[in-house]
Each structure stands twice: as C-alpha cells, then as structure tokens.
C-alpha cells in the first residue's frame, strides 16, 4: 500500500497507527503541508486528491481512498484482526462517538487550513491564533475526559478507533503547549497507547519525512 502522509498531520498519524496495528506494510509518500505554501496544493497532488489534504491511501489494486476515518474503517473491514471496533452495537457507537468528537469537532477547527485563514485572511496575531487553538482543544478534552473509560485504553482493555484518534490529538496539544494537568484520564490513555509498538512507530518524530 502507498500512504501519502505528512509527519505532523494528525489525520495521517491516525492511519499510520491503524496500518501498524494491522501489521500492514506500506510505502510513505511525503507531502509537506508548509514548504512553498504547501506541496499539497501542487497540481500533481491535486490530481491524487482534489481536496488537497493528507492522508491518501492507495490500495494494492490502485484504488485511492481519502479521509482518515474512512480509510481506517476500510482497513478494519479488509484486515479484520485485530478489530478496531467492538462487536456490540452500543460499544461500537461509543467508540465511534469518541473518535468523531476528535476528528469532527476538535481537529477541523485547529487544522492548518483554518489557522492559516485566521492569520492570512483575518489578520489575527499569533497570540490570538494560539488562544483559538487552546480553546477548542480544551473544550473538547473537557467532554472527552468524562466520556472515556480507561481500562487502560479509551474504551476498555483493547485499543480501538477511539485511541487511534486520541493519541495524535494529545500530540498536537503538547506541541502547541496546551496544559493537560486537568485531563489525567486522557494522559493515561495516551501513555498506555504509546507503550504499544504500533503507536510508537507511528509517532511524528519516527517518520521518514520528520524534521
């Protein structure tokens, strides 16, 4: 498989974790989202993904898949072991809810596109942009802290799609110096996950395009 990725992209980070958990080998194709205004905007990448975002997964038969959660569910359906979603419908819904709390509510507000728009189009100072970033992570983490049931992972004894979303978001929070002292459950889940080789290998600093 071929994964178009950027080492700091939390969405690509999610897919790297899933690929590692499934034991699937893949080739990384780096797409720098910052240099030269973003290599994701170049015509050759736009031809791969009209949305101009990573991750993009190219399957062995040449299918091109976008959007991290869709990619991860594809991987779970085609490589069912270990499962990333529980069998019980209620448990599955809870795992998906935690994943979407991060991927649909926190992350979109703090992605590179909105942050650049605040800076370049809205003429916001960096201090205001940082305050925006912190606000939305803290607001989401306040809910997440109450919803997770660590055991030691976010939804019990096995790592799931929820954990795949939690770890990259915690990484982003630390990188942008969001205080995490109020979120011991989240920090505990992150610690437990990063002790697993699949999560550790997916860290941004362990990627071939890391700077």
DSSP string spanning 77-142? HHS-SS-SS-SSHHHHHHHHHHHHIIIIIIGGGGSHHHHHIIIIIS---HHHHHHHHHHHHHHHHH
* 209 belongs to a structural domain: no
Residues 41 and 58 in one domain: yes
Residue 69: closest CA among 61, 77, 60? 77
Q: Identify the weakest region by mean pLDDT among 15-19, 42-46, 65-69, 107-111.
A: 107-111
CATH code: domain of residue 157? 1.20.1050.10
Residues 76 and 161 in one domain: no
Give pLDDT, residue 94. 97
Query: Which among 53, 82, 111 is the end of a domain?
Result: 82
Q: Give the full edge-to-edge strand order of the sheet including 2-5.
A: 27-30, 2-5, 56-58, 64-66
* 160 belongs to a structural domain: yes
pLDDT at 150 over 80: no
**If you search the block for the tokens 């770890």, which residue do you land on?**
167
Residues 94 and 64 in one domain: no
Residues 136 and 64 in one domain: no
Give pLDDT, residue 21. 98
**Mean pLDDT of the 161-188 span:** 97
Query: Which among 48, 82, 116 is the end of a domain?
Result: 82
What pLDDT band is residue 110 in, cutting at 50, 70 and 90? confident
**What confidence tens digit (pLDDT) does each residue in 117-147 have?**
898 899 999 999 989 999 999 999 999 999 9
Give pLDDT, residue 111. 86
Cβ within 8 Å of residue 91, ≥6 positions away: 155, 156
What pLDDT band is residue 149 in, cutting at 50, 70 and 90? confident
Residue 81 tokens, joined: 């072991």
Give pLDDT, residue 208. 96
Residues 113 and 33 in one domain: no
What pLDDT band is residue 211 in, cutting at 50, 70 and 90? confident
Residue 136 tokens, joined: 């939305």
Domain of residue 97, residue span = 89-199
Give pLDDT, residue 116. 86
Per DSSP, the residues of 3-42 read: EEE-TT-HHHHHHHHHHHHHT---EEEE--SSGGG-GGGS
Residues 115 and 55 in one domain: no
Share of the chain above pLDDT 70, in %: 100
pLDDT at 178 over 90: yes
CATH code: domain of residue 40? 3.40.30.10
* 102 belongs to a structural domain: yes
What pLDDT band is residue 112 in, cutting at 50, 70 and 90? confident
Rounded to 10 degrees, what is the CA torsion of 105, 73, 24, 102? 10
Give pLDDT, residue 193. 98
* 33 belongs to a structural domain: yes
**What confidence tens digit (pLDDT) does each residue in 51-84 have?**
999 999 999 999 999 999 999 999 999 999 999 9
Q: Is the dihedral of CA 16, 18, 21, 24 positive or negative?
A: negative
Average pLDDT value over all residues in the chain: 96
Structural domain total, the chain: 2
CA gap 126, 72 in Å, rounded: 34
Calculate the CA 110 to chain-centre distance: 12
């Amino acid at each position: 498989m071929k994964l178009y990725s950027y080492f700091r992209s939390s969405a690509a980070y999610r897919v790297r974790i899933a690929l590692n958990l499934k034991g699937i080998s893949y080739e990384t194709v780096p797409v720098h989202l910052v240099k030269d205004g973003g290599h994701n905007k170049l015509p050759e990448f736009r031809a791969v993904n009209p949305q101009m975002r990573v991750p993009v997964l190219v399957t062995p038969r040449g299918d091109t898949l976008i959007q991290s959660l869709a990619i991860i569910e594809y991987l779970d359906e085609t490589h069912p072991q270990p499962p990333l979603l529980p069998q019980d419908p209620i448990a599955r819904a809870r795992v998906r809810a935690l994943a979407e709390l991060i991927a649909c509510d926190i992350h979109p507000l703090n992605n590179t596109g909105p942050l650049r728009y605040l800076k370049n189009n809205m003429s916001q100072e960096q201090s205001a942009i940082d305050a925006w970033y912190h606000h939305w992570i803290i607001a989401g983490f306040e809910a997440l802290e109450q919803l997770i049931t660590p055991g030691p992972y976010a939804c019990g004894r096995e790592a799931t799609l929820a954990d795949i979303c939690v770890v990259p978001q915690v990484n982003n929070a630390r990188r942008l110096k969001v205080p995490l002292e109020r979120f011991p459950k989240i920090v505990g889940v992150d610690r437990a996950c990063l002790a697993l080789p699949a999560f550790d290998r997916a860290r941004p600093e362990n990627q071939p395009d890391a700077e």
